[in-house]
Amino acid sequence: MTLTPEEINYLREGGRRLVLVLERLRQEIKPGTNLRLLAKLAETEAKRQGGLPSFQGFEGYPAPVCLCVNDQVVHCLPRDIQLKDGDIITVDMGLYYQGLHTDAAVTWTVGRVSPSVTRLLDGAYAALLAGTNEVRAGAKVSSISRAIEKTLTARGLTIFRQFVGHGVGRKLHESPMIPNFVDRGQDPTLTSAMAIAIEPITGLGTDEVITEADGWSTRTADGRPAAEFEHTVLVTPTGYEVITPLETLIGSH
């Protein structure tokens, strides 16, 4: 989907506001924080920024944000639990602003974590950057996927192949899909003024996941931790523009 110049300006502003919401949530990432209260804060902050949480109501998803702790992978409903020292938490959120969606995710540490968990988070973020560096008009989606797959594999990290990135903009999920591995099937070409969400989702163990009783939350079958970093990227004629920059959000890992 090609965005108009006016829509691109709204996308930029929506992305800026989504980052502000995430920065506010980051302040609450500490031992003792209740996940349901964190989700309520996400909803409040989205509205304070003049938008709405993109995920709430999308295909029936009931919450304003996905909050995945430790071995949870994606699509996790906020639970009535408190964060503990040594946890990791992925906050995945979209913002609907002026008719356009942006989408971003960060995995944060809660206190001290093991070296293997640090390796997991560093690898996931490195894969995000590697994939993003391949973005430009005329590039194939496979170039993004190859860079992500190569980065994760080189670091000994798992790729959950059932979860992929996607186009984003007028709808939360649009074409093209952006796999975190080279898909031997269709290989779309990126076009200028297209927005995509790149989201490496990776773990330390096997790639098998289990869907929990709520029908949404997924966790690793072996109980090993998982992590995700995601940002919205605008395709330009010569490269890319990151719409939801994460640099101010990742210092805690």
SS3 232: strand
Alpha-carbon distance 89 to 147, whole Å? Answer: 25
Q: 28: how many CB neighbours lie within 10 A of its CB?
A: 15
Amino acid letter, 115: P
| Cα angle: 218, vertex 92, 204; to 5 degrees | 50
103 is in an annotated binding site: yes
Is 214 annotated for ligand binding?
Answer: no
What does the alpha-carbon distance between residue 51 and residue 18 come to, in Å, rounded to a whole number?
9
230 is in an annotated binding site: yes
Residue 199 marked ligand-binding: yes
Q: Does the annotation place 87 within a ligand binding site?
A: no
Alpha-carbon span 198 to 90, nearest angstrom: 15
- Annotated binding residues for a divalent metal cation, as ranges? 92, 103, 166, 199, 230
Residues marked as binding for substrate?
Answer: 75, 173
Binding residues: 75, 92, 103, 166, 173, 199, 230
